[in-house]
Amino acid sequence: GAVVSQHPSWVICKSGTSVKIECRSLDFQATTMFWYRQFPKQSLMLMATSNEGSKATYEQGVEKDKFLINHASLTLSTLTVTSAHPEDSSFYICSARAGRVGIHEQYFGPGTRLTVT
Amino acid sequence: GQNIDQPTEMTATEGAIVQINCTYQTSGFNGLFWYQQHAGEAPTFLSYNVLDGLEEKGRFSSFLSRSKGYSYLLLKELQMKDSASYLCAPMDSNYQLIWGAGTKLIIKP
């Protein structure tokens, strides 16, 4: 149980274009989803937290107009990187939390490797 | 501020035992997680401690001392596939996981 999928697993796009990444919880309802970014040999950096049906909460320094997050249902959240630039190239990982009382584990998707040329 | 301290890298031999230590400082505390992350992959959940003491799960055990802000992950009967980074992630008062850079574990035959 507790499987989280991400699509696509990798994407290459040209500078200036937009890329959408999907995150799905396959066998549980995720009231909260998290989006992380990880550069090589660095720690996970939380970008934003999203609760189903409400606006995402962005971490300091993360541009909400550039990284659009939609958590439209209890099993799906999307991250859209708008007008991508080479410095946005990174490993983007989502995680989901079930939201049941006393259950705090975050289950991670397999990640999406974005390369902007 | 919030801080996590883990060794950057450790080396151990196949079949041996290794202990990865973690000290932390957080604003509030709602438990501590250990995750395993292989290179180029997302983290996978290993353990969760919220009370003091040792939690054993197969070859892996995790220990927590809340008063000392200290945890360790113990890996027994090491296998080559255990080569990975191990992330200690305490949860703060907002139920937010705090991430450090992790410990890269290298297993040698």
Please say if the pLDDT value at position A100 is more than 80: no
Best of A25, A42, A43 to disrupt the B interface (most B CBs within 10 Å) is: A43
Cβ distance of B97 and A108 shorter than 8 Å: no
Convert the pLDDT of each residue in A5-40 to its tens digit.
999 999 999 999 999 999 999 988 888 999 999 998
pLDDT given at position A40: 86
Best of B97, B98, B103 to disrupt the A interface (most A CBs within 10 Å) is: B97
pLDDT given at position A57: 92
Cβ distance of B95 and A104 shorter than 8 Å: yes
- Is B48 near chain A, with CB under 8 Å? yes
- Give the confidence band of A1 by pLDDT, cuts at 50, 70, 90: low
Nearest chain B CA: its distance from A90 CA (Å): 11
Cβ distance of B101 and A45 shorter than 8 Å: no
Cβ distance of B43 and A109 shorter than 8 Å: no
Q: Within 13 A of A74's CA, how many CA atoms are on the CB side?
A: 8
Please say if the pLDDT value at position A106 is more than 70: yes
Please say if the pLDDT value at position A84 is more than 90: yes
pLDDT given at position B29: 94
What is the pLDDT averaged over residues A75-97?
95
pLDDT given at position A52: 80
Please say if the pLDDT value at position A116 is more than 80: yes
What is the pLDDT averaged over residues B39-59?
93
DSSP A59: P
Radius of gyration of chain B (CA): 13
Cβ distance of B99 and A42 shorter than 8 Å: no
pLDDT given at position A101: 60
pLDDT given at position B1: 74
Residues in chain B within 8 Å Cβ distance of A91: 40
Please say if the pLDDT value at position A76 is more than 70: yes
- Give the confidence band of A91 by pLDDT, cuts at 50, 70, 90: very high
Q: Are A60 and A109 in contact (CB under 8 A)?
A: no
| Weakest mean pLDDT among A40-44, A74-78, A79-83, B59-63 | A40-44
- Give the confidence band of A92 by pLDDT, cuts at 50, 70, 90: very high
In three state form, how does the secondary structure of A64-97 look? CCCEEEEEEECCEEEEEECCCCHHHCEEEEEEEE
